[in-house]
Amino acid sequence: MSRTRSVLFNLYWAGWTGLFAFPLVVLAALGSPARPIRAFTRLWSRGILFGLHHIIGLTYVEEGRDRIPSGPCLIVANHQSAWETLAFLTLVPNVAIVAKRELVAIPIVGWFLKRSPMIIIDRANGTQALRIMIDESRAAIGQGRSILMFPEGTRGEIAAPVQFKRGVELLYAKLGLPVLPVAVNSGLYWPHGGSRHKPGTVVVSYLSTLAPGLTGAEFMRGTQGAIDSELDRWREPRARTVDPALQAI
């Protein structure tokens, strides 16, 4: 039954996404206006979540949503599946997501995501990618938008310790924004590298915010360390490990 539902959901995904080909043509002819594109992107995201709910039986619940700052902030989340990438378009409607270039290669959806606009980086470019990330993040903040980053850089298993790449520390230092760490357990239901989906409830846990101006050690403890500790709620006891880098803090 699980395999059948996954096949049906994948067909639904393709069909739902295909419906956005016509709006793409219209919006492109109108000069790709950002506000309508973001609205259609959120509509697409809500449609995918609808399909997960009614075909797979996969829903979500938010914990600590009142911790989201009223103004722009830097949202730092762990990354376990495609779920959180698309769900955050609905959870935080005006967010600018830092994403890999490969994401915008997805037919139809990639066009909308690139022009939402997301902050697209090519990690192979090193220093230039960091400069683009900082400059475009500042531009998004100037529009009143929050920034979302998955600092692990790629999707990981829920049992594995959270390991941030150092670019997020630089972004934190340059932007001077409050930081909202977020832990998600989507890997339990949409495993990395798998095409099968499981019924259940994804938990999105908004943790305590951090003020700007912290040291690198304080930032890592308040983000990577806090998220990793939160994920222990869903790990097997034998999988609960501590990052040696955080032990030294």
Q: What is the pLDDT of residues 108-137, one digit of tens each?
A: 999 998 898 789 888 777 788 889 899 999
pLDDT score for 237: 62
User: DSSP state, 210?
Assistant: B
CA angle, corner 221, sides to 154 and 210, nearest 5? 95
Cis ω before 117 (30° cut-off from 0): yes
The helix/strand/coil state of 115 is coil
User: Cβ atoms within 10 A of the Cβ of 214, count?
Assistant: 17
Provide the pairing of β-strand 147-149 with 74-77. parallel
pLDDT score for 249: 46
pLDDT score for 136: 94
pLDDT score for 203: 98
**Mean pLDDT, rounded, of the chain:** 90
pLDDT score for 211: 97
For residue 95, what are the domain limits? Answer: 2-247
**Residue 205's beta-bridge partner residues?**
63, 183
Instruction: Between 177 and 104, name the one with better pLDDT.
Output: 177
Taking the model in full, what pTM does it have? Answer: 0.89
Widest CA span in the chain: 56
pLDDT digits (tens, 9 = 90+) for 67-100: 999 999 999 999 999 999 999 999 998 899 998 8
Q: In the predicted model, is pLDDT for residue 238 greater than 80? A: no
Number of structural domains in the chain = 1
pLDDT score for 201: 97
Where does residue 242 rank: exposed (0-12), middle (13-18), buried (19+ CB within 10 A)?
A: exposed
Q: In the predicted model, is pLDDT for residue 239 greater than 50? A: no
Assigned token pair, 180:
């909202």
Share of the chain above pLDDT 70, in %: 93
Q: What is the CATH number of the domain that holds 193?
A: 3.40.1130
